Structure 1
């Protein structure tokens, strides 16, 4: 693994609007006083792009102080239409500041870039599609995760206070379980492996920086390990049991280049 690669970037913005975003990440040889990556090392911008015959807003934002009520109402009406919420369900949003976010989980090495990361309403899963809202948003918080000496560090940058903070706790970049479930499948090599859940009867993890070929290889390896009972397979998913009733589910997110693996023992 290359040292100090950027693993994840989450940019939070204050509702000034967003159109589309290119996130280019470059790593500096100098350290800031808290972490090893500074916001100046991340050459990010927001621009309108056309994708899949539609416009998408890419990145994360929150509301400016001077947003006019009629503009906010217009946006909320658009959200209601896009999401399909009732008037009653929408009531909670009128008293809340407008929020949007964007997140990239792609691993970015020095001189590489990530482009076209969608911006979403609040913390939901619906894309923001109106590029005219850009002037309603401003940067709030950037969350940066980077790799150093096989440990994952999490750093925050507050755009308003212009201050950094670094979490004391780091995360293993090659996590693996000690449970019996881990012995049923092959431990990934030369990849960033992060645990979602590790219990005696369930183990879930992500394999980051993975290609479609890596996904296919992972599926074939699990088939070779005996996960063939009641199997279902598609280009992005695989599920099956083994003869002992252990359940396996694998999925692939091509946009973020992440394989999710979930394995559990019989109830």
Structure 2
């Protein structure tokens, strides 16, 4: 227990060298494991959630969120979906207890986990079986309508960033993107929910003008995305799409941590 507490303290350290060393150690440990028991992953995410909870000041919070969101990209493939599932179940369990002063950093973390999930699918060429497996994870927790313990606020935020992150990941519009399949869980949620807030959020997502002609983006869209580096893209997307969540938090986003090395 003492070792775990010390590790969490290192993750939220204000000193970048201490924090980055802790993240490097975590990355090496996760890469070395061929498999995890579900209980192990839930315990791990309890500690990682706590590290995010303790993270202070906007820039360190943003860097930690980006670093935590990069973890799935370095995991052995067999551990990716279980790790993502543990993340969503942890967030769902803790969501109602997140106070208003801490909510912004968790909104960002959720957005980045939606993003990395889509990026992983893009790297796999949007293969049907991979898409189905990933959507099952989303439908099991953040987009699950049957779970009464799942806060509508989490559902709404995931839906709210869904099209933004699809647009970012499929910015090139290469023609092999399964838009209908990727939007199906959102449509299903809108059709079955009785929550006015969730229904309104789903309707807004489905009416997004970017969905009208996905294969023909504006002439400058691809150029805009291709010229920006990862940090610039992250800053632009969050400023555009999360302004009502916390514009002040995002205006200085310039994450120096670029995730774990492959």
More helix by share: 2
More strand by share: 1
Give TM class, smaller chain: under 0.3
The two structures have a TM-score, normalised by structure 1, of: 0.23
The two structures have a TM-score, normalised by structure 2, of: 0.23
Greater C-alpha radius of gyration? 1
